Chain A
Amino acid sequence: MKPYVIIGNGVAAAACIEGIRSIDVKTPITVISEENHPVYCRPLISYYLEGKTDPERMSYRAPDFYEKMKCTVLYGERAVSINKRSKTVVLESGEGIQYSSVCLACGSSPFVPRFEGLENVKEQYSFMTSDDAEALGQALHKDAKVLIVGAGLIGLKCAEGIHGRAGHITVCDLAERVLSSILDTECAGMMQTAMEDAGIEFMLGDSVARFEENKAHMNSGKTVDFDILVLAVGVRANTYLLKDLGGEVGRGIVVNEKMETSVPNIYVAGDCTEGEDITLGGRRVLAIFPNAYLQGHAAGVNMAGGEEICNKGIPMNSIGFFGMHAMTAGSYYGEEDGGECFEERTKNTLKRLFVRDGKLTGFILIGITERAGIYTSLIREQTPLDQVDFEMLKKIASSAAFSQESRRQKFSRPV
């Protein structure tokens, strides 16, 4: 029996394993894991540095997970190519592994643009893996001046994680605002203020022109002295395995709702994919944890001959920094794109709901979290807003805004 092969060992891989085993409990599964660890919760690496979790609690599944799931895990091995004719995955060591079907769950890698003089910086770190976090943790000391390049989710989570263990933290980004891919200017400002209040310094609309070993010369002409550099500029989907086969690849590996790629018997899931974002009406890389699980599970079920469709993909994030929470989902269309924004605010909270063509397409909630999933579900289900009491929903997320019949379906029977 040729095994199912999974390349990568992150959450998409774990979900793929669970998906396969929900259908097929017999056929062996081989997992190729570049990282030398059982699957762990990647988003928790900042909480680890913060002391809010530890390697044991960070592990995503119980220690006997692979054994129970009848998986062989090849730790420290990297897949370098796939031969689709002989249905073989080739490892760096030269070894070939035959597959019946294979799932690419390769995630993404940090993207490092060319910075002049970067090679002079001895203390430089990425922030993607538990090994990265471990290494950064070793280097930190209470007087350390840290420069983080990148004010996206990863850079800011890193800043929060190391805040209590460093002397001073500066975050720079070419973008004019923090979390620019998920927040508009005003909301980003609120999050930035929360972080500044905690002592983190920002240099926005500015980036590094040139590095010396412990100094960054910024585009603006300013300079920043640092002991430790963290590069969190962005990530790129790992697409090479499919690209080399001539398969369809955009910014990620193109995937359909069954998690198939353009190449037969090759499935794909998680951060390395580019799939449909229903709020965009087009494809996008959705590099978020829930998407990786949902896709991984569907891929597994379909590989094993079952049927599971994954067709409600949307961007969504729930993140807090120093006690200030932001929840976001979907796409935000402005008036120029036929969208409308409804806003509710108090002194410390801000809610923006984005509507187009009679449907909720996105939201930003700063400092409000109650029942936010009701909004998310309106987006995922593409519920026409004339079927609900939208006036009520603008004020509060509540099932009371739905019809009695819809509540009966939710609360009076198994769902």
Chain B
Amino acid sequence: MKRVYVNEEWCLACHLCEYNCAFANSGHSDMVLALKGKKLYPRIHVEGDEKISYAVSCRHCLDPLCVKSCIAGALSRKEGIIEVDQNKCVGCLTCVLVCPYGALAPNEDGIMQKCELCLKNSAGEPACVAGCPNKAIVYEEREVI
């Protein structure tokens, strides 16, 4: 299965991935309308400091602790992709408590949202990858070691 991978040596911490993510998931067709003047709630986050930086989004783990821990049965793994059913989520944040990668954060209403690889929005494939100027984020098959 294709996943999003990062190469921190090439990340410039430009945060474009966050903008592209928030835009792709906004449902708007105009980036200015979607994002200008608003607090962003992207599903990918650039972390790090002056020395290192890298983007973190859901790893779509083979054995996802978040899914097993979700008290609302709102997280599930479908064909390898970890999805959240926002209609079931109550915002308890147990998934945030258990994700070892720090990859999950709620939306502005406190309900979970997460990277679902843009397969269901109009981008069709990860917008963070498509817009990364430096190929620091890629979307590809890699082998399980």
Contact = CB atoms under 8 A, between A and B. Distances in A.
Interface in B74-132: 87-88, 90-102, 104-105
B90 A290 contact: no
B142 interface: yes
A31 interface: no
A411 B56 contact: yes
Contact of B71 (A43, A297, A325, A381): A43
A407 B93 CA distance: 24
Contacts of B6: 411-412
B99 A398 contact: no
Given A293-B68, A413-B145, A414-B143, A373 B98 contact: yes
A327 B104 CA distance: 15
B93 A325 contact: yes
Given A41-B72, A293-B68, A327 B97 contact: yes
B61 interface: yes
A370 B62 contact: no
A43 B73 contact: no
Interface residues on B, range: 35 or more
Contacts of B8: 404, 407, 411
A345 B102 CA distance: 21
Given A44-B72, A297-B68, A374-B100, A327 B54 contact: no
B133 interface: no
Contacts of B139: none
Contacts of A211: none
- Most A-side CB within 10 Å, residue of B5, B56, B87, B98: B98
Contact of B68 (A15, A44, A57, A317): A15
Nearest to B6: A411
A329 B94 CA distance: 11
B100 A376 contact: yes
15 contacts: A41-B73, A44-B90, A47-B90, A52-B90, A289-B71, A318-B97, A370-B96, A371-B102, A373-B98, A376-B97, A398-B102, A400-B48, A414-B59, A414-B145, A415-B62
